[in-house]
Amino acid sequence: MTQSFSELNLAPTLARAVAEMGYESMTPIQAQAIPHVLTGRDVMGAAQTGTGKTAAFSLPLLQRLLKHENASTSPARHPVRALVLLPTRELADQVAEQIKLYAKYTQLRSTVVFGGMDMKPQTAELKKGVEVLVATPGRLLDHIEAKNAVLNQVEYVVLDEADRMLDIGFLPDLQRILSYLPKQRTTLLFSATFSPEIKRLANSYLQDPITVEVARSNATASTVEQHFYRVEDDDKRGVLRQILRERGIKQAFVFVNSKLGCARLARSLERDGLNTTALHGDKSQDERLKALEAFKSGTVDLLVCTDVAARGLDIKDVPAVFNFDVPFNAEDYVHRIGRTGRAGASGLAVSFVGGRDARLVTDIEKLLGRKLDIEALELEADRRPAGRFNDGQRAWQRDGEHNERDDRAAREPRESREPREPRAVAPRPVRAPRPPADPLFEKPYEAAGPADAPAPWEAAQKQPARLSPNIKTRRKVPALFRSPPPMADGHEEAAAPVAEVSGPDGQTG
Ligand code: AMP
């Protein structure tokens, strides 16, 4: 197997960019996939983010597109030749940035389009002409429908994180997009798993693909200390604060299964005085990028997020990961806790297991191939922080100090008691009267159906179609449709074709 980039005979412009990136040898997925893509074969790759798969598909793809390289300013000379589809805006942005770096010494143009941003600047880029288009499915369809993106000269299509795209519900969008592409093309599909659905997708759209697989990272790093605590929903927030304080944790990811739960938890932790930000699919692109920046720069301590928003993000090590909700997909467990304990550093991964999570835990056990110990946790008396602290200390640390200083007398007798059997939930302490509360916070959180699926009360309000406001829907003539009558906004109730359904985490692209 080829190991060194020099053996690939990449064009000097590409080889120079690779050398500048500081890559010395190929990663396993690159060594396996690049030679096949260079020969134009369809490839089905089992690889996750972090394995170097972006270079595995983009370097050979750029190499093959070099024959179209030209310096003409005419958009007609720069039709879309390669299409890379990804499930989330952040991933699309990340992949597009990498492609730009690899192509920087060539005359090949690339751009990215994803939802949550104004369509106009994207349209202007598309109209100038690009050879490589990176996109999320929903927004790409918007551009196709608006005739900003013409895909009849596409030679390569990459379905990246295909399992995730299917999880989100992008299959109808993908099918529509693929129907616009020429039949004669190279198709590359990358997925963390080869589930039956992925195999079906591959059977429909790939021709005689080569399968490449890198060692699955179902194993979790030995440097991560993992705990599963039995915690009821109402106690989760208190337990989170308690562990943060007791362990002196400075920064952590807190994973939640639904975007509504995510927003609600972030707001209540903020109200508890914790420096928190939320990252989920209902946030605007700008808010999401700001949230990430704030977390990366350390101005925010807790990043409360959903899987869709956090998947594959290039955020380096954090000391701890909390699964406030046990993930619906066992593989997300491995993915989530892989955020901590990187490169030999020690990390902590804590999962709160509620009464209804037994099946999800069993799935994780199957994936990890070992039995998990669900521990009981002694819940401290509720020490709700009084409010925000502005002295630069983490609220939970300050909270601990407060307890030590002010409550020593109360705590000493307790510490000298006989050890007790740990219990899942301590008797409820007498609480001080609560401040006036937003009823939204107080409503108990209920896990939704599939990962990041809209909560029932959200779904009820959801518009049926995923069309961008920039695209006019065709009005039906009321006289022809006695029932149901047209809706006030001009959409027909039953007018949304299946393909128009948006992703549950707002990943309409
Ligand atoms: P990816 O899985 O494509 O998201 O890549 C994960 C990270 O690995 C990115 O920061 C890449 O720049 C980096 N990377 C990709 N290929 C190589 C390589 N051959 N050697 C070292 N780093 C690499």
Ligand 1, atom 15, residue with closest C-alpha: 52
Output the pLDDT for position 116. Answer: 86
Pocket of ligand 1, beta carbon within 6 A: 21, 23, 26-27, 30, 49-55
Q: What is the 3-state secondary structure (H, E, C) of 480-505?
A: HCCCCCCCCCCCCCCCCCHHHCCCCC
Q: Is 27 helix (H, G, I), strand (E, B) or coil?
A: coil
Instruction: Give the Å distance between the CA of 94 and the centre of ligand 1.
Output: 12
Residue 461, both tokens: 């309000």
CA distances from 415 to 396, 411, 418, 422, 430 (A): 21, 6, 8, 14, 20
Tokens 């740990």 locate to 422
Instruction: Give the Å distance between the CA of 99 and the centre of ligand 1.
Output: 12
Ligand 1, atom 21, residue with closest C-alpha: 23
Residue 25 CA: which ligand 1 atom is closest?
19
CA distances from 346 to 222, 255, 287, 318, 319 (A): 9, 19, 30, 10, 7
Ligand 1, atom 1, residue with closest C-alpha: 52
Output the pLDDT for position 254. Answer: 96
Q: What is the 3-state secondary structure (H, E, C) of 290-329?
A: HHHHHHHHCCCCEEEECHHHHCCCCCCCECEEEECCCCCC
Q: Which of 426, 428, 436, 490 is nearest to 464 (CA)?
A: 490
Distance CA 3, CA 25 (A): 6
Angle at 119 between CA 115 and CA 124, to 5 degrees: 135
Residue 51 CA: which ligand 1 atom is closest?
2
Output the pLDDT for position 24. Answer: 82
Q: Is 429 exposed, middle or buried (0-12, 13-18, 19+ CB in 10 A)?
A: exposed
Cα end-to-end distance, the chain, whole Å: 37
Q: Which of 288, 316, 343, 231 is nearest to 115 (CA)?
A: 288
Instruction: Give the Å distance between the CA of 216 and the centre of ligand 1.
Output: 17
What are residue 148's phi and psi, to 5 degrees?
-85, -30
pTM of the model: 0.57
Domain pair 5-213 / 224-376, same fold? yes
Residue 94 CA: which ligand 1 atom is closest?
4
Residue 21 CA: which ligand 1 atom is closest?
12
What are residue 400's phi and psi, to 5 degrees?
-65, -45
131 contact partners, CB below 8 Å, separation of at least 6? 65, 68, 78, 79, 80, 81, 82, 108, 109, 110
Tell me which architecture the domain covering 5-213 has in CATH: 3-Layer(aba) Sandwich (3.40)
Per-residue pLDDT of the chain (509 residues; tens, 9 = 90+): 658 999 899 999 999 999 999 988 898 899 999 999 999 999 999 887 777 899 999 999 999 999 999 999 999 999 999 999 999 888 899 899 999 999 999 999 999 999 988 999 999 999 999 999 999 999 999 999 999 999 999 999 999 999 889 988 899 999 999 999 999 999 999 998 788 899 999 999 999 999 998 865 555 666 788 999 999 999 999 999 999 999 999 899 999 999 899 999 999 999 989 999 999 888 887 888 888 888 888 899 999 999 876 666 667 668 899 999 999 988 889 888 877 765 556 789 999 999 889 999 999 998 888 889 999 888 776 544 433 333 344 555 444 333 322 333 333 333 223 233 333 443 344 344 444 333 333 333 333 334 343 333 233 333 333 434 444 444 443 433 333 433 333 332 222 233 333 333 444 44
Domains of the chain, by residue range, sit at 5-213, 224-376
Helix axes 89-102, 285-297, angle to 10 degrees: 70
Residue 50 CA: which ligand 1 atom is closest?
2
Task: Identify the DSSP state of 340.
Answer: B
Ligand 1, atom 8, residue with closest C-alpha: 52
Instruction: Give the Å distance between the CA of 331 and the centre of ligand 1.
Output: 21
Output the pLDDT for position 218. Answer: 54
Task: Identify the DSSP state of 183.
Answer: S
Instruction: Give the Å distance between the CA of 52 and the centre of ligand 1.
Output: 4
Largest CA-CA distance found in the chain, in angstroms, rounded = 82
What are residue 111's phi and psi, to 5 degrees?
-155, 170
Distance CA 420, CA 388 (A): 34
CATH T-level assignment (fold) for domain 224-376: Rossmann fold (3.40.50)
